Amino acid sequence: MGVLENLEPKAVFHFFEEMSQIPHGSGNEKKISDYIVHFAEKRALYCRQDSANNVLIKKGATKGYEGQPAIILQGHIDMVCEKNSDVKHDFETDGLKLVIEDGKIKAEGTTLGADNGIGAAYILAILDADDIAHPALEAIFTTEEETGMNGANVFDASDIEGKTFINLDSEEEGELVISCCGGNKTDVLQPIVWEEAPQWGIPYLLKVSGLKGGHSGTDIHLQRANANKLMSRILFDIFSVYDIKISNIIGGEKDNAIPREAEAVVLLREEQAKGIETAVAQMNVICSKEYEGVEDNITFCLLPMKEKVGQCFSEETAKNMISILYLLPYGIETMDTYYSDLVESSSNIGAVKTKEEQIVYSNALRSSVDSKIKVIEQKIKIIAELAGAKTNKKGEYPEWAVKRDSEIEKICSKIYFEMYQKQPVVKAIHAGLECGIFCKKLKEVDMISFGPNITGAHSPNEAVEIASVERVWKYLLAVISYKRD
């Protein structure tokens, strides 16, 4: 018996739960892609799977809809893999442990993958049904959306006939998204000069934890704390006063997630420990006050380690590391001049990792104006070069510009008002959607994006509201069954 078996809509939650038991982190989508192919083959639907594990399924119109224009339904099948530090879970092999709490579905200690598993489940439920009225459907399931939209970038759209495109990767019910930002991933690569750890060095783990984290696009305006930036502050304070060595730093896991935790291994003189512990305690007080009402559980701690440390960063490497981390931009860069409450440009230093020869700082850059992304890129490049490091740009994706006089926007707004007696919120968002890529692949396409209430995306707090899933399901069915003149 499935955890979600008694929830409505049954078909949607059935497919969502089945997919949740198949590991499908970004870059590991082969099994879930094959699952979707098998789904199509079992129902004798046209299906195409490419080398990137994208899947296209086509289904003919139901009776009475043969003359209606085809509709494209699209969602991505990969998920962000984040877990709490005390949770044992292998995203490469383990299914998710679903739980129901307070009318929401969550996963125990990990991300849920409702972003965008619920969207994919909606599409599968429609394709599976024989009692839902609709025109011809073209269903596109893409991969690696969370790591640069690589699946959408390589998807062959030459055989797509539809001109109406519904993306199901939005996370707030009652909102119709008509535009999104573009962006890229810009890494800073700092070379490491290693030296032998001093004999006086006593190893301690310096840790920042307890942050809320969140999505680096849709949550960036909330001004939540970034664990990597907080780590730079405490390291700067103690490195400036005490003779310490640093042998490792790690923080966050994904560039597109606001990091919740960061750690550094530091080597101290015995007589320094009390002074540094005091500095750490003071930082707890400072940050609790600074983020009052935003963060509830910021915690800095200094913990003795049993493990021996053989190597550490040279003094120059350590100084450059602290400088880079302190200066890298985080948060809102510019606000939109037309939509006063819309973030125009932002940057997130989402992950820091110590490797054998270099420290890698992974940044997610976003903007609805291409030239503003270039400004942030140049800023990061200057910081890197001043500290003897280099930058590497990858995973670029284009913005999705507003389409004036959009027919699908009018249809969706009309149906929403008829169902709920109020107008939906029509908006642009500060997040990347694959719509930007598909609007360039598909000429004259008319696009919209919507979805149910999902909170805490890209973090172990991710949850989807059960009642919202049902309401949006009914709304989606009304949209695809709407007959145009």
Residues with a known catalytic role: 78, 145
Where would I find the H helices in 21-157? 30-42, 114-128, 150-154
Residues facing 188 on adjacent strands: 361, 391
Q: Of 257, 322, 326, whose CA–CA distance to 81 is shortest?
A: 257
What angle, 0 to 180 degrees and rounded to 10, lies between the N-to-C axes of helices 466-480 and 10-20? Answer: 120
DSSP 16: H
Cα 223 to the center of its chain, rounded Å: 16
Q: Of 393, 400, 394, whose CA–CA distance to 432 is shortest?
A: 400
Structure tokens at 3: 């955890």
DSSP readout, 198-266?
A: PTT-EEEEEEEE----EETTTTGGG----HHHHHHHHHHHHHHHS--EEEEEEE-S-TTEE---EEEEE
Contact 35, 49 (CB under 8 A): no
DSSP readout, 435-481?
A: HHHHHHHSTT-EEEE----EESTTSTT-EEEHHHHHHHHHHHHHHHT
How far is 201 from 362, CA to CA, in rounded Å? Answer: 30
Please list, in sequence order, all residues whose beta carbon lies within 8 angstroms of the beta carbon of residue 309, skipping any fewer than 6 positions away. 197, 201, 203, 247, 265, 267
End-to-end CA distance of the chain: 45
SS3 89: coil
**What is the dihedral angle through the alpha carbons of 116, 120, 121, 125, rounded to the nearest 10 degrees?**
160
- Residue found under tokens 């080597």: 267
77 φ, ψ to 5°? Answer: -110, 5
How far is 473 from 100, CA to CA, in rounded Å? Answer: 19
Contact 468, 453 (CB under 8 A): yes
Q: How many helices (H) and strands (E) does the chain have?
A: 11, 25
Contact 290, 223 (CB under 8 A): no
